[in-house]
Amino acid sequence: MAEEKISRISREIYENVGGTENVNKLIHCMTRVRMTIIDDSKVNFEGLKAIDGVMGVVEDETLQVVVGPGTVNKVAQKMVETVGVRLGETFPHAGEQSIDDLMAQTKAQAKEKYNKPSKFKAILNTISKIFVPLIPAFVGAGLIGGLASVLGNLVTSGTLDAGTWMQFITVLKIIQAGIFYYLALYVGMNAAQEFGATPALGGVIGAVSLLTGMNPEAPLKNIFNGSALAAGQGGIIGVIFAVWLLSIVEKQLRKVIPDAIDIIVTPTLALLVIGTIEIFLIMPIAGVISTSLVGAINTVLQIGGGFSGFVLGALFLPMVMFGLHQILTPIHLEMIAKTGSTQLLPILAMAGGGQVGAAIALWIRLRKDKEFVARVKGALPVGILGIGEPLIYGVTLPLGRPFVTACIGGGIGGAIIGGFGHVGSIAIGPSGAALLPLIAHGKWWVYLLGLLGAYIGGFIATYAFGIPKDIKEKADHYGETVEVETIQPTLHVAPTAEFETATISSPLTGQVKTLSEIEDEVFSSGMLGDGIAIEPTSGQVVSPVDGTVSSVFPTKHAIGITSDEGVEILIHIGMDTVSLNGDGFENFVQQNDRVTKGMLIARVDLDKLKAAGFSTITPVVITNTGDYKKVSTAAHHEIKQGDLLLTIER
């Protein structure tokens, strides 16, 4: 279907439901766009039905506009993209928001245009978005699983009676498995949502990694070495990569598949192509990596001592992240069969201890960020009991550096156990405190010492070196306006002086532009008020009026001035320059300072802004435009500081 048709249908639906401001949420099913309407009286039902491409309208708890299979997903996606949200998210409504909220709403769009984050940070941010919605399930199921592990280990050690406790333990393990055994499905669905693919298809791709339909007696082979593929090989990271490929294939197919058969052909081809790639490429590659890692681990074990303990303890978290730790199970079983215990498991368990220490350090250093602290509080008890996924995917990995320092903590704990030597577990069980009952030959105190070493090592490494600067600044200003592109509404006052026409001089020298030329909807649409924009050729900024400074932003990129006549003027230097956190800006005034026309109020390094990829276009906006009859542009093309810029008619 031609893109212009999709755009037209989307636009006309909005026009007939009272605009985007009359829609609270939007989702779709196989044939219908479903909208939660705020005020039904604003909906033009006859107009909706008359739209070319609309097959019908259904009035229910949600307003349902029928556009047919194959078309509905494209129309719905276009509609949510128009307002900058995703399917199912609440629409932002300009009429209900403060100016702070309006600017925060557009920050993401402006950031895409002007701020170029590193690809590594973008990947970590994506991982965070995929796993954060799963944290409540991680915490609940993890605590239940942790309790099952402690009880199971006590039964194995003979402390508890198996006949009395095993059935209860089994129930707990079944509940725990609901999230952890089928984690690939949940991750697949969330990843699809993040990448713009169909969530159900993402879930199927996640399930493919479990090889559920494979005959164990005739397993699929690793094309690289001929070994049998194992369920879960490739891990969660492999699932995310496969779903990312799915999103690309699905979007391309929808561009070429006719709408009449889209619902049949697109998901079939997408699953067939990506499922095959996942089985025969992604999973085998992970198998090759796992084989290499196991070989490296065996080599390190032969070296022995604290060095081996450090290397193994530090490397285990990356193995968990890639789902490669499952390959170690045969090694554990072989060691137990030959020696009565596995000396590898206690060392590897230290990786979880490093996570715990890192999380506590993050809690302390970022304690002002209440949302983040709540996430840590939920994941910590589970981590202490040996369930590491919430801490890995919800806390340390999304931040990048703390994941590395947590690995260092795990290495320190492993070095302690490796240094003492001969610390083994009589059975395979979860790590953390839950493993204590399984430690053989009374060496539980060495294991506990190693665990404490991992806690302390992870804490110190993270506290000192593991806090990213931008994350710390965000936490320090949590709840404040510095981290989002916000415009603080100045206290509105009625004009204080009688006048027929007020004049605003230019604060800058440069090229005059219209607001519509600004690539930022808040300014270009006149949402903040009428005015003009200047593409500066000089970094000197002077006051355009006699008046009082009403606001100076902490990031120095925007200044508000109220003239003696009561005209409220906003000078916003560049687009999304809040991201520079004041770098390149110098202010010479503070809030409530008295200023006169032509007085130097700020200086900006235009070259630095441009080198960083930011637009230097500077809007000069009358934020109380509604108080006046007309705001007129008095300048065109070139302008110098002090030249007449705007006229205000009372």
DSSP codes of every residue in 134-155: GHHHHHHHHHHHHHHHHHHHHH
Q: How much is the pLDDT for 411?
A: 93
Query: Tokens representing 28?
Result: 């779709």
Per-residue model confidence (pLDDT) at position 342: 82
Report which of residues 165 and 138 the model is more confident about: 165
Query: Residue 481 pLDDT > 60, yes or no?
Result: no
Of 499, 492, 487, the closest CA to residue 545 belongs to: 499
Category of 145 on φ-ψ map: left (φ > 0), alpha (ψ -120 to 50) or beta: alpha
| Residue 544 scores a pLDDT above 90 | yes
Q: Write the single-letter amino acid at 105.
A: Q
What is the C-alpha R_g of the chain?
30
Tell me the whole-structure pTM to 2 decimals: 0.47
Phi then psi for 198, rounded to 5 degrees?
-75, 120
- 166: phi > 0 → left, psi -120 to 50 → alpha, else beta; which? alpha
Check whether 539 has a pLDDT greater than 60: yes
Q: How big is the CA angle at 362 (ends 357 and 363), to the nearest 5 degrees?
A: 95
Per-residue pLDDT, 31:
63
Whether the Cβ atoms of residue 506 and residue 642 lie closer than 8 Å to each other: yes
Residue range 359-386: mean pLDDT, rounded: 86
Comparing 126-135, 440-449, 498-507, which segment has the lowest mean pLDDT? 126-135
Residue 439 has pLDDT above 60, yes or no: yes
pLDDT of residue 601: 92
DSSP states of 541-575: EE-SSSEEEEEE-TTSSEEEEEETT--EEEEE-SS
Determine the pLDDT at residue 203: 93
Backbone CA torsion sign across 527, 531, 532, 538: negative
User: Between helices 235-256 and 305-321, what is the axis angle to 10°?
Assistant: 30
**Residue 269: its pLDDT value, please?**
95
Model pLDDT, residue 456: 96
CB under 8 Å to 457, separation ≥6 — which residues? 354, 357, 408, 409, 410, 411, 412, 413
Percentage of the chain modeled with pLDDT above 70:
81
Looking at CATH, the fold of the domain delimited by 501-649 is given as Glucose Permease (Domain IIA) (2.70.70)
Where do the domains of the chain lie? 3-96, 501-649
The mean per-residue pLDDT over the stretch 278-299 comes to 72
Question: Over pLDDT 90: what percentage of the chain?
Answer: 24
DSSP 8-state code for residue 221: B
Kindly tell me if the per-residue pLDDT of 401 is higher than 50: yes
> Which phi and psi angles does 578 have, rounded to 5°?
-60, -30
Q: Look at residue 51 and give its three-state secondary structure.
A: coil
Residue 326 has pLDDT above 90, yes or no: no
Q: What is the pLDDT of residue 488?
A: 41
Structure token pair of residue 320: 């968990």
Is the pLDDT score of 244 beyond 60? yes
Query: What are the CA-CA distances from residue 442 to residues 154, 351, 384, 395 (Å)?
Result: 14, 22, 21, 34
Confidence grade of residue 35 (pLDDT, cut at 50, 70, 90): very high
pLDDT class of 534 with cuts at 50, 70, 90: very high
Minimum mean pLDDT among 139-143, 270-274, 545-549: which range? 139-143
Which residues face 272 on adjacent strands?
Answer: none
Class of the domain covering 3-96:
alpha beta
Edge to edge, the sheet with strand 644-649 lists 501-505, 644-649, 630-633
> Would you state the pLDDT for residue 115?
40
The confidence score (pLDDT) of residue 388 equals 77
pLDDT digits (tens, 9 = 90+) for 89-135: 888 764 444 434 434 443 444 344 434 445 655 665 676 677 667 76
Specify which of 26-30, 208-212, 297-301 reaches the highest per-range mean pLDDT: 208-212
Q: Which of 177-181, 502-506, 630-634 has the lowest mean pLDDT?
A: 177-181
For the segment 393-415, the average pLDDT, to the nearest whole number, is: 88
| Token pair for 547 | 């008046």
Residue 484 banded pLDDT, cuts 50, 70, 90: very low
User: Which tokens sit at 77?
Assistant: 């996606």
Instruction: Mark out the alpha helices in 115-229 (DSSP H runs).
Output: 119-131, 135-156, 162-180, 183-195, 199-208
Which amino acid makes up residue 384? I
Q: Tokens representing 74? A: 């494209």
- The more confident residue out of 80 and 150 is 80
Does the pLDDT at position 337 exceed 80?
A: no
In this prediction, residue 377 carries a pLDDT of 84
141 or 323: which carries more pLDDT confidence? 141
Residue 545 or 234, more confident: 545
pLDDT at residue 161 greater than cutoff 80: yes
What confidence score (pLDDT) does residue 293 get?
57
The overall longest dimension of the chain from CA atoms, in Å, is: 98
Alpha-carbon separation of residue 605 from 113, 536, 599, 614 (angstroms): 20, 11, 18, 12
Q: Are 137 and 190 in contact (CB under 8 A)?
A: no
Average pLDDT, the chain: 80
- Distance in Å from the first CA to the final CA of the chain: 51
Cα–Cα dist 448/431, whole Å: 11
As annotated, the active-site residues are 29
Which amino acid, residue 289? Answer: I
Is the Cβ–Cβ distance between 33 and 13 less than 8 Å? yes
